[in-house]
Amino acid sequence: MQFRTIYITTKNEEEALRIGEALVKERLAACANILPKIKSIYHWQGNLEKDDEAVLLLKTREDLAENIISRVKELHSYTIPCAVSWQISEANQDYLKWIQQETLPIA
């Protein structure tokens, strides 16, 4: 079984908490970590933007990543939310077993 970390930026800590809590309650993610304040610089609609945002990090099974990204798009306030994932290649095996136990069972 493969596992993923999903990185999401949000407009603030409250939005990160709301999305993270929903995804953990729905058993799509085993854990949500929130970094409450980051600085972001990006182009949007022809302008260079500089904003304070929050980061939401989720740990989940690889087979749930697409479901999480779809759900983030439903829950997020941004038109095009950042939701990207990367594979967990090395990890505490006991932690990975915990992720497996805390997420939706495989159908």
CATH code, domain with 50: 3.30.70.120
Structural domain count, the chain: 1
Query: What DSSP designation does 76 have?
Result: -
Q: Say what the pTM is.
A: 0.94
Any domain includes 93: yes
84: containing domain: 3-102
Inter-CA distances, 82 with 43, 90, 91, 99, Å? 13, 24, 25, 23
Instruction: Check pLDDT > 90 for residue 69.
Output: yes
The share of the chain scoring above pLDDT 90, in percent, equals 95
107 confidence band (pLDDT: 50, 70, 90): low
Any domain includes 11: yes
How far is it, in rounded angstroms, from Cα 53 to Cα 46?
20
Residue pLDDT, tens place only, 9-36 = 999 999 999 999 999 999 999 999 999 9
